[in-house]
Amino acid sequence: MKIVFRTLRLCGELLLFFCFFVSICFLPGVYADEPFELDFDSLLQEQESEYQSAKQRQFDFGGSIQATWALDTKDD
């Protein structure tokens, strides 16, 4: 019975190793002979556009609060 469990464990470990090896070597877009490069300019532009849109949303939201507050205080 010990032999059966050891054999199953060995087969499981080999299967895990094989899956790990395949996932490392054959992931889409990642190859051993092709270096990985980051395009910092596009990342910077993307971050800048997200920052500007968040800034604009904050301005719009703040402007609506100020306009509402101005309307509320006008009645007093």
Q: Which structure tokens are listed for 27? A: 């992931």
- pLDDT per position as a tens digit, 39-74: 788 888 888 988 888 877 766 665 555 555 555 555
- pLDDT per position as a tens digit, 18-32: 888 877 766 655 555
Residue ranges per structural domain of the chain: 1-40
- For residues 10 and 24, the model is more confident at 10
24 with 17: CB under 8 angstroms?
no
Q: How far apart are CA 31 and CA 27, in angstroms?
A: 7
Task: Note the pTM of the prediction, 2 decimals.
Answer: 0.33
Given pLDDT bands bounded at 50, 70 and 90, which one contains residue 14? very high
Give the model's pLDDT for residue 19: 84
